[in-house]
Amino acid sequence: MTSNSCAVRKAVIPVAGLGTRFLPATKAMPKEMLPVVDKPAIQYVVEEAVGVGLNDILMITGRNKRALEDHFDRVPALEATLEAKGDITKLDAVQATSGLGDIHYVRQGDPKGLGHAVLRAKQHVGYEPFAVLLGDDLIDARDTLLSDMIEVQQKTGGSVVALIEVEPSQISSYGCADIEDIGEDGYVRIKQLVEKPAADEAPSNLAVIGRYVLHPAVFDVLEHTEPGRGGEIQLTDALQVLAAEEGEGRGVYGVVFRGRRYDTGTS
C-alpha cells in the first residue's frame, strides 16, 4: 500500500519540553496543564485531534508530566461524589476528558528536541502518515486547519506544515517558509525552511506553526539528523531534507491558515 491510500489515523502530541519560558509556573506542573478559560490547554489539542477522527493519540511525555496522564484518566471517587451530589454538569465535564480517544504515552527520556520527541513515535505510528500537534498553538474548533492538512497529505503523498502570515518584524521568532506557488488551491510547495531568520533575510512572512501531517519517511530522516540549533534534534532540519529530495514520501507542502489561533507559547 502506498502512503497515498493510507488514511491518517494517528496523532502525536509532544509534551516533553521543559517549558522554561513559563517558569516558575511550570516548575512542578506541565505547561500544557495551564488553564485556558475552563480547560487545560492540552484538552483543546486532544479535542482537535479527535474532532477530525484521529482517535489514536500518542503523547510524548517526560518527567513532571504525570498530571497530563491523570487528566485523561477516570477518577471513580470524584465521579461517585459528583453523582451523589447530583451535579450532572460537572460529572459530564469530568467524564468527557476520560472518554477522549485512545491515549497512549511514551516517555522521551532526555528532552533532546522536537525532532527527537517525534522519533520516539516511530514504533507506535508504524509506516503510515500521522499528525503532530503542539500544545503551544490552539486552533479554534470552528476552523478546519487539520482536516485541510490531512487532505493535502493524502493528495500529495508528502508531508504538510501549517503556515501563518506574520508581520515581517515578527518572523525572526519563527521558522520561516520559502515557498513556491504550484497553482494549487489551498496549498503551496515548501522549497526551504529557514529557522528564525532576521527580518531582512527572511524569504517570506510565512511562519510555521505547531501542526504537521507527516509522511513516515520523516522517521528515517530523523534517525540520521544531527543536533542542530540549540544542540537539539530539530524537526525542521528533517523536513528540510524531505523538502529537498524526490521520491517516496518526499516533498513538503504548506497550508496557509487564516483562521483563529491562540498562541500560548509566548509569555
> In this structure, which amino acid lies at residue 212?
Y
> How near is the Cβ of 212 to ligand UTP at its closest, in Å?
11
Return d(Cα 40, Cα 42) in angstroms, integer.
6
- Candidates 14, 175, 251, 254: give the one binding ligand UTP (CB under 6 A): 14
Specify the stretch interacting with ligand UTP by CB under 6 A; choose among 110-118, 121-129, 137-145, 192-200. 110-118
Residues between 69 and 108 that touch ligand UTP (CB under 6 A) = 108
Which residue number, 56 or 137, has a Cβ lying nearer to ligand UTP?
137
> How near is the Cβ of 112 to ligand UTP at its closest, in Å?
5
Which residue number, 14 or 158, has a Cβ lying nearer to ligand UTP?
14
Q: Can you say whether residue 140 is alpha, beta or left, with left for phi > 0 and alpha for psi between -120 and 50 degrees?
A: beta
Return d(Cα 117, Cα 124) in angstroms, integer.
13
- Candidates 20, 98, 123, 173: give the one binding ligand UTP (CB under 6 A): 20
**60 makes contact with ligand UTP (CB under 6 A):** yes
By DSSP bridging, strand 10-14 and strand 130-133 are parallel
Residues between 118 and 137 that touch ligand UTP (CB under 6 A) = 134-136
Helix, strand, or coil here: 107?
strand
Cell of 176: 520561516
Name the strand (E) or helix (H) holding 96.
helix 88-98
**175 makes contact with ligand UTP (CB under 6 A):** no
Backbone angles phi, psi at 59, to 5 degrees: -100, 135
Please report the sign of the dihedral spanned by the C-alpha atoms of residue 12, residue 17, residue 19, residue 21.
negative
**15 makes contact with ligand UTP (CB under 6 A):** yes
> How near is the Cβ of 215 to ligand UTP at its closest, in Å?
20
Q: Which residue has the cell 475552563?
A: 38
Which residue number, 254 or 265, has a Cβ lying nearer to ligand UTP?
265
Which residue number, 35 or 99, has a Cβ lying nearer to ligand UTP?
35
By DSSP bridging, strand 159-165 and strand 188-195 are unpaired
Return d(Cα 207, Cα 98) in angstroms, integer.
34
Which residue number, 63 or 258, has a Cβ lying nearer to ligand UTP?
63
Q: Which residue has the cell 459530564?
A: 92
- Candidates 54, 114, 162, 214: give the one binding ligand UTP (CB under 6 A): 114
- Candidates 9, 18, 220, 241: give the one binding ligand UTP (CB under 6 A): 18
On the 0-12 / 13-18 / 19+ scale of CB atoms within 10 A, 263 is exposed
Residue whose C-beta lies closest to ligand UTP:
17
Q: By CB under 6 A, name the binding residues for ligand UTP.
A: 14-21, 60, 108, 111-114, 116-117, 134-136, 265
